[in-house]
Chains A and B, each alone.
Chain A
């Protein structure tokens, strides 16, 4: 008879203790697997929601008068369009999603409108490919803000003349409750042409990094290296909201998983200790029969490892099922991305077995060092 067979028979004999331990391991592994299976969707959903909050970094020419900028919502000073490519190709910049814009306030149909040229996002060198931010407006087309479209009865498909050039209205935007409602968006090159500023932009919009330490100085330093003739302004409310939301999501996961694992470990440890106490006489007799400490330890640690492996297998199934069942309801925007992560099975098996072995370590030491004579003499 092998040690494994012996411990399996013991597990079956003390089923309640085993089932209680198994339940703890299944719960911990299921939570771990469910959270990590949904974490991709959660991250993408958070990113999507954060992205919808808009850009939080503005890069403008160094001589831009910020008082004018904030009063007009754009700077009069311009810089070469090439700057956005310079920045995109610069190694190690602390921003992402670079969108070059040229904005000016102009009179159009007896109204003041913000004419905004937008270049499709410039891909950053060495950065992982991400879904683009900002509008990708085709040449010859415009997007019209809600207030303008509503007030001037403009609808998608109409042709409008802007500063002497005809554009097809690609889309009328929803009400935003901001200056975007009086904007006309066009492709940067079209807007440069009608504003008479070919090859010029007056801002690069971007998303700031999630940098360690002082965030804004880090961003400013990295951009100053690439574009010394610019300066960087942070749109703080958006940046702070983004940072806090991310921090909250990350802290929550960082707290939840270790806490559940700790509770599971304590629970398994107590059950293992209870098992050792229940088997004091058995340990004594095994000693009397000539079992060495290593074999007795193998019985108890082996029991813990079997518990961990079975719990991990079942926990992986339960966690994956929970993620597939409830994940799409939680993460509606990215639900299609929730799929079983089979690599977690290996991690679960190894992690749960190690966790159970660690939790049972002290009880095993108790078992191995227990004086057999105490139980055998006191019978």
Chain B
């Protein structure tokens, strides 16, 4: 489904160049659950956002279903993200001025043209958040916020979920629940690329990838 070929990303700044990704080659098959591990600053988030079409690599290519992602126009890239990808972040990034239901419905505003209210309600039900549908994010616990973010990521029925430290701010119980939801998505045929420090994530992963200073050092299959 996704293939990275010799992808490098170099950031240039006042302090000089930082090589976030260094000749990374990686393939993720449809229906796979891949965990990316690595120390802070090792390039995990850059890898995730590069796959998500949000960071253009300095070198190399990112192929999605055989097509060069960064060869697509901005509009096509946006459509790709809207239709194929669900993002989940450590900081949730819920819109503070919308209630839970509206936050979940935000991806439906990308012009996909379907009424997604029923699906949004179903997702909130499934994630045990329906009783909080009219609450603002500031009225939720961190675990609840992450469940809303997962519901939002699932609204457009994506093929791939890119999750960047989704359990980083959660207590063990909530972390386990989040991993469980990602696992459910995987079991239903979805593809998951999970960046995490969470040891328990190994239990769900079919493959763990290690990043060290931008280099893919170990790739193991269970």
A→B interface (CB under 8 Å) = 1-3, 6, 9-10, 12-14, 281-282, 284-293, 295, 372-373, 376-377, 379
Contacts and interface: CB of A to CB of B under 8 A. Distances in A.
A3 B109 contact: yes
B74 A292 contact: yes
Nearest to B74: A293
A295 B52 contact: no
A290 B110 contact: yes
Q: Which residue, of B80, B108, B111, has the highest number of chain A Cβ atoms within 10 A?
A: B111
B91 to A, nearest CB: 5
A376 B45 contact: yes
Contacts of B79: 290
Main secondary structure of the interface of B (DSSP, over half): helix
Contacts of A290: 78-83, 85, 107, 110, 156
Interface of B: 45-46, 49, 52, 54-55, 74-75, 78-83, 85, 87, 89-91, 93, 95-98, 102, 105-111, 152, 156, 164
Contacts of B110: 289-292, 295
Contacts of A284: 93
Given A9-B97, A376-B89, A377-B45, A286 B74 contact: no
Contact of A295 (B54, B74, B105, B111): B111
Contact of B107 (A2, A3, A9, A289): A289
A379 B107 CA distance: 21
Name the 3 nearest CB pairs between A and B, nearest first. Answer: A290-B82, A13-B97, A285-B93
Contact of A377 (B49, B80, B82): B49
B111 A286 contact: no
8 contacts: A1-B108, A9-B97, A290-B79, A290-B80, A290-B83, A376-B45, A376-B54, A377-B55
Given A287-B54, A295-B110, A295-B111, A9 B98 contact: yes
Given A290-B82, A373-B55, 10 more contacts: A6-B109, A14-B97, A285-B89, A290-B156, A292-B74, A373-B49, A376-B54, A376-B89, A376-B164, A377-B46
Nearest to A286: B106
Contacts of B80: 290
Nearest to A7: B97
Given A289-B81, A289-B87, A1 B106 contact: yes
Given A12-B97, A13-B97, A376-B45, A292 B109 contact: no
A292 B73 CA distance: 11
B46 A289 contact: no
Nearest to A296: B78
B195 to A, nearest CB: 11
Contacts of B93: 281-282, 284-285, 288, 376, 379
Contacts of A292: 74-75, 78, 110-111
Nearest to B52: A288
B98 A6 contact: yes
Given A289-B106, A292-B74, A293-B74, A379 B91 contact: yes
